[in-house]
Amino acid sequence: MSNGGIIDVSTGAAQAVGRYFSVISVVPSSLYVTFVYLLIASGSWQHSPNWSQAFTSLRHLNVGGIAALALFSIGLGVIIHPIQFAIVQFFEGYWGTGRIVQVIRSQRILRYQRLCDELDDKLNRTGNQLVEWKKKGVEPTFATPRRSRRDEVLRVRDTTFPRDLEQVMPTRLGNVLRRAEAQAGSQYGMDALQVVSHLLLIAPANHVDYVNDQRSQLDLAVRMTFISVAASATALLFLWPYGFWALVAIIPYALAYLSYKGSVVAGSHYGSALEDLINLDRFTLYEQLHLKHPTDTKEERETNKKMALLLRYNRTVVVDYERPAVDTGQAASPSVGSQDAQN
């Protein structure tokens, strides 16, 4: 192997290690390992916990003890990292095909569908009342309670749930992400799941970094939720024989609740980042695919219908290409389809 090849492999390995040792991997794992250490140091596996003894032990850790905790934290982070995607999917509401979990999933979806129906009904009733006021010559303002209530209902409906009830998911996080998947690029006839991976390869670095930052925030919030749930279960395992001490499990459970709420907000921001990526960089995608720049949104939607078929490996769809100019300032040559038509 050449020296250049060795350098390339080494660089790739270093970047991989860097990803594993990122904040997403290490910080939640470090908190969990420290929490378990306190449980063990308190003696709760043998007797009623002595928290003073536990915190004193933590404060007086030697270099070897700190290194051991760091090693366990990094190891746990490395173990969990490959299943990060599966963890996110679980909190989205993908729970497998078992009969029991499918029943639970269906009930949760029905619950959120009913909530969407209630929100739609509130919007309709409030909208009808506002129309009646206008007919009577009363112009409602944003300070009007009914107008404010309608704006809040509209905000919740449009930012939390997908428009199509058939796309509703069994969790809050799942609904926020499903909404982003269904809505991003839809005004241009684009499928976000199809084009985002292509856009991330060609978009400017600052655009890609912004999307990745939002995804990292989502992953961190989900990882904290998962680790906090695990910490709560661990606390119950250690402390259930000691009566009220089992209530210590409420602390990581509360953290799990707050982290999950944060993951929903992070999911919304991640969806907005994908929308921005499509809005700003879709013409770069057309250029890279040698597609004609559409002259209006109607033509763009028609082009994207064909592009979507191509990306689904359709072998019958026909798309005209536009060759890029060879020299700066040189006009683009006629499309292949146009030349064929002339010939």
Q: How far is CA 181 from CA 105, 132, 169, in A?
A: 20, 37, 12
- Does residue 146 share a domain with residue 227? no
Residues 82 and 27 in one domain: yes
Q: Which H or E element spans position 6?
A: helix 3-20
- The pLDDT value recorded for residue 4 is 46
CA dist., res. 302 & res. 326, Å (int) = 28
Position 181 in a domain = no
Hunting for tokens 């969407």 — which residue is that? Answer: 116
Who contacts 240 (Cβ-Cβ below 8 Å, separation ≥6)?
246
- CA R_g for the chain: 27
Verify that 319 and 261 share a domain, yes or no: no
Output the pLDDT for position 325.
64
* CA atoms within a 13 Å half-sphere pointing along the CA-CB vector of 134: 8
Q: Answer for the pair 77, 20: CB distance below 8 angstroms, yes or no.
A: yes
**Are 201 and 276 in a shared domain?**
yes
Query: Is there a single domain that holds both residue 197 and residue 82?
Result: yes
At 3 the pLDDT is 46
180 within some domain:
no
- For residues 168 and 116, the answer to whether their CB atoms sit within 8 Å is yes
Are residues 67 and 137 both part of a single domain?
no
* 113 and 241 share one domain: no
Structural domain includes residue 183: no
Q: For residue 135, what pLDDT is reported?
A: 52
277 shares its domain with 201: yes
Tell me, yes or no, whether 308 lies in a domain. Answer: yes
Nearest to 166 by CA among 123, 204, 110: 110
Does residue 28 lie within any of the structural domains?
yes
> Taking a C-beta distance cutoff of 8 angstroms, is the pair 31, 80 a contact?
no
Mark whether 16 and 60 lie in a shared domain: yes
Number of neighbours of residue 180 by Cβ within 10 angstroms: 20
Please state the separation of Cα 167 from the chain's center in Å: 16
- pTM, full prediction: 0.79
Whether 67 and 197 share a structural domain: yes
Q: Which two tokens stand for residue 239?
A: 């402390």
Residue 163 is part of which domain span? 96-170
- Letter string b/e over residues 55-81, b meaning 16 or more CB atoms within 10 A of that residue's CB: eebeeeeeeeeeeebeebbbebbeebb
Q: Are residue 152 and residue 35 in the same domain, yes or no?
A: no
Residues with Cβ within 8 Å of residue 269, at least 6 apart in sequence: 214, 217, 218
Tokens representing 157? Answer: 């409906």
Residue 178 lies in a domain: no
Please indicate, yes or no, if residue 249 is contained in any of the structural domains.
Answer: yes
Tally of domains within the chain: 3
Q: Is there a single domain that holds both residue 87 and residue 119?
A: no
Question: In tens digits, what is the pLDDT along the chain, a chain of 343 residues?
Answer: 444 443 343 334 344 444 444 777 788 999 999 999 999 999 998 889 999 999 999 999 999 999 999 999 989 988 888 898 999 999 999 998 899 999 999 999 999 999 888 887 877 776 555 555 555 454 555 545 555 666 666 677 777 888 888 899 999 999 999 999 999 999 999 999 899 999 999 999 999 999 999 999 999 999 999 999 999 999 999 999 998 999 999 999 999 999 999 999 999 999 999 999 999 999 999 999 999 889 899 999 999 999 999 989 998 988 888 876 655 554 444 544 444 444 4
140, 170, 200 - which closes a domain: 170
pLDDT at 326: 58
What are the residues whose beta carbons fall under 8 Å from the beta carbon of 277, sequence distance 6 or more? 196, 199, 200, 203, 207, 211
The answer as to whether 47 is a domain residue is yes
Is 162 within 8 Å of 173 (Cβ atoms)?
Answer: no
